[in-house]
């Protein structure tokens, strides 16, 4: 009888232990921020387990928020929103980002202002520097880029911005906090901090930037509490 009880105890303990999973920092980042690689053999949109962010919803968001320095007719706005939403869904599938995550980056960077230009010269929806855009265009052979003025094309700007995000994600081994800091503050600064073994949270602006991305994802996902919003799982 004693032997039988011990056997039951060890089996139960083994089942419990096997159910406890320790996540790596990269996995934890993916859980929090909704960034993931599609499993082998997955469909192009297999990056999202439960995708509530349809192309129609993305289109409606662009229609609502898209801004420009010049007057835009409603017909033109709808046409451009259709083009942007279609391209965003393709980019999300290709680079394995959630649509809500990409929209959140756009809102944080430019508040959907396609003619935005920062004091340091970053341009367009995803606030790309011309030098960064030049590097992206050469590395990924994006021939439509013909200099800084090309970045005012919102579709091209978004394509280059998401491509750059994916590059940073891979460069920093899927660690969301690190590659988002690199997108916000630049990889040179991030590399300097990592080499000196300093915490990236010390970059105050980037810490607030990452927090804002999380809140924006929650907003785009709809009426979900922040704790429910791993966009890869729920949006």
In the chain, what is the greatest distance between 2 CA atoms, to the nearest angstrom?
A: 84
Token couple for 234: 């729920």
Separation between Cα atoms, residue 115 and residue 12, nearest integer Å:
61
Token couple for 203: 């970059």
Residue from 28, 59, 109, 199 carrying the catalytic annotation: 109
109 part of the active site? yes
Q: Give the other-Cβ count within 10 Å of 191's Cβ.
A: 13
Catalytic residue ranges: 109
């Amino acid at each position: 009888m004693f032997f039988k009880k011990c056997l039951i105890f060890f089996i139960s303990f083994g089942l419990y232990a096997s159910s406890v999973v320790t996540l790596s920092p990269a996995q934890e980042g993916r859980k929090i921020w909704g960034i993931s690689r599609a499993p082998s053999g997955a469909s192009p949109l297999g990056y999202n387990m439960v995708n509530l962010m349809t192309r129609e919803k993305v289109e409606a968001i662009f229609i609502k928020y898209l801004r420009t320095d010049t007057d835009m007719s409603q017909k033109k706005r709808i046409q451009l929103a259709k083009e942007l939403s279609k391209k965003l869904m393709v980019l999300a599938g290709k680079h394995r980002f959630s649509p809500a995550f990409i929209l959140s980056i756009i809102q944080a960077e430019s508040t959907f202002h396609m003619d935005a230009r920062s004091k340091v010269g970053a341009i367009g929806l995803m606030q790309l520097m011309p030098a960064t855009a030049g590097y992206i265009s050469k590395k990924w052979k994006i021939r439509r880029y013909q200099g800084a003025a090309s970045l005012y094309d919102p579709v091209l700007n978004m394509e280059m911005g998401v491509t750059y995000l994916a590059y940073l994600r891979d460069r920093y081994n899927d660690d969301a906090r690190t590659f988002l800091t690199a997108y916000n503050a630049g990889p040179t600064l991030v590399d300097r901090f990592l080499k000196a073994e300093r915490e990236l949270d010390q970059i105050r602006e980037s810490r607030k930037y990452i927090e804002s991305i999380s809140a924006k994802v929650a907003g785009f996902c709809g009426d979900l509490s922040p704790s429910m919003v791993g966009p890869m799982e729920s949006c």
